[in-house]
Structure 1
Amino acid sequence: MDKTALDTLLEAASLAPSGDNTQPWRFTVNRADWTIAIEVDPERDPSPMNVGQRMADIAVGAAVENMIQTAEGNGWEYQLSQPSKGSSTHFRLSPTSNSGQVNPLLLLRATNRRVYRGGEITAELRQKLESSTTELDGVRAHWILDNERLLKLSGVVSRADAVILGTKAIRNAFLKSIRFDKANTDVVDEGLSLGSLEAGWGERKMLRAMRAMPDSLFYCLGGRLALGRVSRQLMLSASGVCVVSVPELSSIASWRSGRVWQRAWLALTEHGMVAQPMMSLLILQNLVAFGTLKTLSARDQRLASELLQNFRRLLTSELNSALPCTLMRIGYADQPTGRVGRMPIAKMTADTMSVE
């Protein structure tokens, strides 16, 4: 079958970022009606980091944004049916004989886990980034670029990373996504390659050992301190952070935040910058919201509440009554050592003669 504009949109959607490259979306295509329905596939990411499917909702929103930017880049007319609840979306394209091409920025965008080179973001560049991430139904992108707050945020983020990856259930879910069965530089179609983690020989050996390690031993061996140091170093090497806020913690708000988040990431890519999601604080927030904080020890539950309070306090002027939903560090760096690929689109897609 010859490639059509619908196939180009599916390819664009599949290039969206997702937690640990789980690709938690499902497409239903009605080629007669030129319609693509996209929704969360709840079986793709069962990790406790995806409690309530909130991380998956964000990923679906980013996938929809990819479709929008690709349609507009090709000059195609379309209609978008925004979800009233959940994140299920209908994207209807006006018929066209032009198969078009994917927005090139989607192919360039990647998570970069290197230590960054720092570097100031000029007022002119900040203005360009802000103009690319205008408000969407109360969802806003905030660019935190001053060194004093970045220093304070690095302490909060690094401690949150230590809590999240210091908890065996969450740590093992993350480790399960790592493709130890592939060579360091292999491009994997799902999960995380060792190259994309910027993991050296010693770190790869440590990651393998962590899979069978109880929390008590992990703590005694200094695993949390080591993770915290790495996270802090990564944060301090950045030029700033981008935080996307939502008016409420809901599926539709997370979907919208995914769209704004992807706009921010693509704007950074366009201007030669790189980014890495740093989501531990937001995962803690979701664990609290869904009453599943018991995943953590009693000590970590108290620490999580303290960290969230400190995080919101640091962003008081930006958030007001809103809540943070995504966070990524931004800056300048060499290309990542490794990248991840995507599953075959056919594996994520069903064709039907009618979309209800």
Structure 2
Amino acid sequence: MDRQIIEKILEAAVKAPSGDNVQPWRFEVSQDWARIDLFNLPERDDSYYNYQQAAAYIAHGAVIENIAIASRHLGCMVKLKLFPEPQNPSYVASFEFESASAVDDPLYPAIFTRETNRFHFQDVQLPAEDAQQIIDSIKQVEGVKGYFVHDVKTVKTLAKVIMVNDRVVFEHKEIHSFLFDKIRWNQKQIEETQDGMPVGTLGLNPIEKLFFPLMRFWWFVDLANYVGLSRIIGAKCWYNCQNAALIGQVTVQKTDSLGFIQAGRALQRVWLEAARQGLAFQPIVGLPLLIHRAQENALEAFSETHRNMLEQAKQSLFGIFGIDQSETLAVGFRIGKCKSVAEKTLRKAV
């Protein structure tokens, strides 16, 4: 195989999203450049959300989708095998490449322009044709279902449900600590680590930027919650989401590694289609993954209040979207119009 083509495929692969940009992957390439092996690195993501590596496998699903899209576009036929060694769950996938005719894929350029936008979206609705293209974007991904809402009243109702996760982040010490461990506060940190989230990507307004550094200290957050800090942060989430042109959820039938990989592939396809249309996109993964943990009776160190909040959120999401109780929430997202994010996340070199 042509080394330059495989290197371009790898460049596309690492542009995949991951929780807090932890990049939980490692690649091995054969000497003849005809094979790539993809491995999960569990130590990269020890967040509370990553129960049984669900968050990591979603990220790997996005990597796999990027490789599939880039391969077609650059003139490769790829044979994908998921979990080639069943006894080794960290060996996620193998890809074997052969030369083929290039097939133009309109999603390929979006791999490199896709971004997470946590800012307040404009109050703009999508044309019906554009919304339908987003809805159709995941139909070829097996084992998942997509649910989409775009009418104004229902979007505002969903915004009140979605804000639960942001409240929990600032009321649960372990989740809070992981988040702030992944924030990069200056250019030196960004360049040294090449992972995590630059503070400029968090959607903070000028006043919030003044106080946000104090929130890295749990003692401050714990004290400030007595005067409603976590509720204010939840309200900010509601404010940002209630103008979304479209809010969606991806569900899976099977809550195993394959199911969450397929969810990641679906998420990436929706994201790339939104980016192709020049739309802003924010994944909403924390709440679905906490609800998944609750379904597995694995909410260790969660208070009864937080358990009840998650159960109410689950019932609301299932009811509003019309989701069958046999399905499991995997990932969510909001899509709309917004200015582009000036500061970008970096990726480690392959």
TM-score by length of 1: 0.88
Partner of 2:8: 8
Partner of 1:322: 327
Closer/same/farther in 2, CA of residues 154 and 302 from structure 1, 3 Å limit: same
Partner of 2:155: 150
The correspondence of residues 195-234 of structure 1 with structure 2, limited to 5 A, is 195-214=200-219, 216-234=222-240
Take 1:3 and 1:207, find their aligned partners in 2: how far apart are those partners? 45
Structure 1 residue identity aligned to 2:5? A
The correspondence of residues 1-356 of structure 1 with structure 2, limited to 5 A, is 3-32=3-32, 34-83=34-83, 86=89, 88-95=92-99, 103-182=108-187, 189-214=194-219, 216-316=222-322, 318-319=323-324, 321-345=326-350
Quote the offset at 1:340 in angstroms: 0.6
Structure 2 residue identity aligned to 1:88? V
**Are the aligned partners of 1:184 and 1:195 in contact in 2 as well (CA < 8 Å)?**
no
**Are the aligned partners of 1:187 and 1:341 in contact in 2 as well (CA < 8 Å)?**
no
**Are the aligned partners of 2:292 and 2:330 in contact in 1 as well (CA < 8 Å)?**
no
Deviations 1:82-108 (A, max 9, x none): 348657111111158x9x999321111
Two-structure CA RMSD over aligned residues (Å): 2.7
Quote the offset at 1:122 in angstroms: 2.0
Closer/same/farther in 2, CA of residues 121 and 200 from structure 1, 3 Å limit: closer
**Are the aligned partners of 1:24 and 1:42 in contact in 2 as well (CA < 8 Å)?**
yes
Structure 1 residue identity aligned to 2:75? G
Take 2:257 and 2:222, find their aligned partners in 1: how far apart are those partners? 35
Take 1:124 and 1:42, find their aligned partners in 2: how far apart are those partners? 40
Take 2:5 and 2:188, find their aligned partners in 1: how far apart are those partners? 35
Structure 2, unpaired ranges of 5+? none
Take 1:155 and 1:184, find their aligned partners in 2: how far apart are those partners? 35
Structure 1, unpaired ranges of 5+? 346-356
Quote the offset at 1:335 in angstroms: 0.8
Closer/same/farther in 2, CA of residues 43 and 184 from structure 1, 3 Å limit: closer
Bigger shift: residues 289-298 or 153-162 = 289-298
**Are the aligned partners of 1:185 and 1:338 in contact in 2 as well (CA < 8 Å)?**
no
Take 1:195 and 1:186, find their aligned partners in 2: how far apart are those partners? 14
Structure 2 residue identity aligned to 1:303? M
